[in-house]
Amino acid sequence: MEYLTHFIALKNMRFGDNVKTHFELGELASRKIKIPPLLIQPHLENAFEHGFTDRNKKYQLFLNFTEESDQLCITISDTIEGCLDSTPKLASKAINIIREHLIDAQILAKFSYIRENNLTVVRF
């Protein structure tokens, strides 16, 4: 969380802090779970580099961490408008970065990229 918080703060400086970030940890807040930073960071990079295009506009970025069937579930969503058509291209860039650093193909198969309730959503 500390790494992600610093990474988002650094990226957000370019936007005059116009990207409001929401972390939802629920019951996981009290637990110590180690997550490789490069599992999440490429998706955040995509949002800042390709989605948050108007530096004067306000955006929202949501990171939700839950436990489902004894597995960690991470959902990253943002208020990027009009990304439905470009989502596969953006997703493949992040997936390629993750694929280079991730050994377990079963985890990679659990990534999904969708447009839901006017949000661009990455779930894994």
CATH class of 2-123: alpha beta
Residue 122 · residue 94 · CB < 8 Å: yes
Tokens of 69: 């069937």
Q: Domain coordinates of the chain in residue numbers?
A: 2-123
Q: What is the pLDDT along the chain (124 residues), one digit of tens a residue?
A: 888 899 999 999 988 899 999 999 888 878 888 887 677 888 888 888 878 888 888 999 999 998 888 888 888 888 776 554 444 444 456 667 766 766 566 766 777 777 777 777 888 8
- The number of helices, as runs of H, and strands, as runs of E, in the chain is 4, 5
- Maximum C-alpha span of the chain: 41
